[in-house]
A and B are shown apart, each in its own frame.
Chain A
Amino acid sequence: MRAGLIGALLIAVAVIAGGFIGNHIIAAVPSEDAAHLVNGERVQAVSADNVREYLTPAQLDTAIRGGLLPAGTKSLLKTDGKMQHGQYEWHDDGVPPGKLTIWVDLRTQLISVFRGGHEIGTSVIVYGAETMQSPIGRFPILSKHRDYHSRAYDAPMPYSMFLTTTGVALHGSPMSSRRATHGCVGLPVQFARLVFNSAKLGDEVRIVRSETKAISAGAQPAGS
Chain B
Amino acid sequence: MRVGAAALALLLLATMSMTIPAFNGDGGSVYAQTTDALSRFIGRSPGERDETDLLKGKVRKGPSLADRLFGRRMNGGEPEQRALGKIFDTPPEESIKEITQVPPGPVALSDPIPSGLLPLGDVGTPPAATVGGPPLGFPGGIGTVVPPGTTAGPGDPGVSPPPAPGVDTPVAAIPEPATWAMMLIGFGICGAALRRRRRLITEGLPSVARCEPA
Query: Which A residues are closer than 8 A to B by beta carbons?
Result: 2, 5-6, 8-9, 11-13, 15-16, 19-20, 23-24, 27, 53-56, 59, 62-63, 68-69, 76, 78-79, 81-85, 105, 107-110, 122, 124, 127-135, 142-143, 148, 150-153, 157, 160, 162, 164-169, 171, 177-184, 215, 218-222
Contact = CB atoms under 8 A, between A and B. Distances in A.
Chain B interface category by residue count: 35 or more
17 contacts: A5-B3, A9-B7, A9-B10, A19-B14, A27-B26, A82-B43, A82-B44, A108-B45, A129-B54, A133-B206, A150-B211, A151-B213, A160-B212, A167-B214, A177-B46, A220-B39, A221-B34
A82 B206 CA distance: 31
Given A109-B46, A143-B214, 9 more contacts: A6-B3, A16-B17, A81-B43, A150-B212, A153-B212, A165-B214, A183-B209, A215-B42, A220-B39
A177 B45 CA distance: 12
Nearest to B5: A5
Contact of A8 (B7, B13, B39, B202): B7
B202 A131 contact: yes
A55 B41 CA distance: 10
Given A76-B41, A215-B42, A131 B212 contact: no
A69 to B, nearest CB: 8
Contacts of A8: 4, 7-8, 11
A116 B13 CA distance: 44
A13 B48 CA distance: 51
B37 A182 contact: no
A16 B46 contact: no
Interface of B: 3-4, 6-8, 10-11, 13-14, 17-18, 24-26, 28, 32, 34-49, 51, 53-54, 56, 201-206, 208-214
A69 B25 CA distance: 31
Given A76-B41, A177-B53, A15 B18 contact: yes
B205 to A, nearest CB: 7
A180 B211 CA distance: 11
Given A5-B3, A178-B54, A218-B42, A16 B14 contact: yes
Given A2-B3, A9-B10, A16-B13, A167 B18 contact: no
A203 to B, nearest CB: 18
A79 B37 CA distance: 10
B21 to A, nearest CB: 10
B32 to A, nearest CB: 7
B209 A182 contact: yes
Contacts of A85: 46
Contact of A107 (B11, B48, B210): B48
> Nearest 6 CB-CB pairs, A to B?
A183-B209, A12-B10, A108-B45, A184-B211, A222-B36, A15-B14
A76 B46 CA distance: 18
B41 A182 contact: no
A107 B13 CA distance: 46
A149 to B, nearest CB: 9
B24 A132 contact: no
A167 B7 contact: no
Nearest to A143: B214
Which of B36, B44, B208, B211 neighbours the largest number of chain A CB atoms within 10 Å of its CB?
B211
A136 to B, nearest CB: 11
Contacts of A167: 210-214
B202 A181 contact: yes
Which of B45, B53, B56 neighbours the largest number of chain A CB atoms within 10 Å of its CB?
B45
A16 B10 contact: yes
